[in-house]
Structure 1
Amino acid sequence: MSNKTILIADDEPDIRLMVSRMLSKDYFVLEAADGDEAVNVARVQKPDLILMDIMMPGKDGYSACHSVKSDPATKSIPVVMVTGIGHQLNVKLSAEVGADGYITKPF
């Protein structure tokens, strides 16, 4: 197993479980169920990568990504936005809030 850590931020427990199972063989995986939790986990744990769902209750993925990228302690963490909606506007908004990449579900 790698010593790299990936944070999965998604409000759907089944998605978190599926992605965690796919990655946990090679990476240490952290989970967050919403945007606020994702920002807090990122600040404390400093993961090597964040996979951030866009549509989450409370603080959505765009706001959470912006918070991560605005914080000097976490701004260097790559954030890849993950969504079931592959619309160009989502890609543009993701880039505007500082996302480093974009993946459309299902993977």
Structure 2
Amino acid sequence: MKVLIADDELRLRKVVSLHLKKSGFEVIEAGNGLAAVQLAEEHSPDVIVLDVMMPEKTGLEACAELKKMDRFKQTPIILLTAMAESEDLKKGEEAGADAYLTKPFSPKELIDIIKSRTG
């Protein structure tokens, strides 16, 4: 299963990527929202994980853009964020996110969410 993870924090991205690979996932990495959309179109991942606060394009913007495309309507998109207010969660839902994970989080928690969203 192919997972695209987009986060502008290189260290966090590498740690999560390592855990995903150890769990048998193929991982594609992006450092910003614009690259995430481009890589998603190029690689058609099974799951997309987006940090909310990123340069070029936020995770919310990237999520909304991807969910407008027919090929990603059914693709689970998980938003990662340090912002956990109800208003932030509402924005994630409006963008089309399938799940919301607040930072700090454990990679196991993310893997469990991915597995629950992909059967």
Using the size of structure 2 for normalisation, the TM-score is 0.84
Q: CA–CA distance in 1 between the matches of 2:73 and 2:37? A: 11
SS of 1:77 mapped into structure 2: coil
Q: CA–CA distance in 1 between the matches of 2:90 and 2:41? A: 25
In the alignment, what sits opposite 1:23?
20
Letter in 2 for 1:80: I
Letter in 2 for 1:37: A
Q: CA offsets per residue over residues 19-48 of structure 1, 9 Å max, x none?
A: 001111120011011111101111111111
SS of 1:80 mapped into structure 2: strand
Structure 1 gap ranges (5+): none
Q: Percent identity?
A: 41
In the alignment, what sits opposite 1:50?
48
Q: CA–CA distance in 2 between the matches of 1:85 and 1:95? A: 14
Q: Is the 8 A contact 1:46 1:77 kept in 2?
A: no
Letter in 1 for 2:12: I
Using the size of structure 1 for normalisation, the TM-score is 0.93
Q: CA–CA distance in 2 between the matches of 1:100 and 1:74? A: 12
SS of 2:38 mapped into structure 1: helix
Q: Which moved more, 1:26-35 or 1:67-76?
A: 67-76
User: How many Å apart are 1:99 and its aligned residue?
Assistant: 0.4
Provide the aligned C-alpha RMSD in A.
0.8
User: How many Å apart are 1:86 and its aligned residue?
Assistant: 1.3
Q: CA offsets per residue over residues 32-69 of structure 1, 9 Å max, x none?
A: 11111101111111111111000001210110000100
Q: CA offsets per residue over residues 71-91 of structure 1, 9 Å max, x none?
A: 112222110000112111111
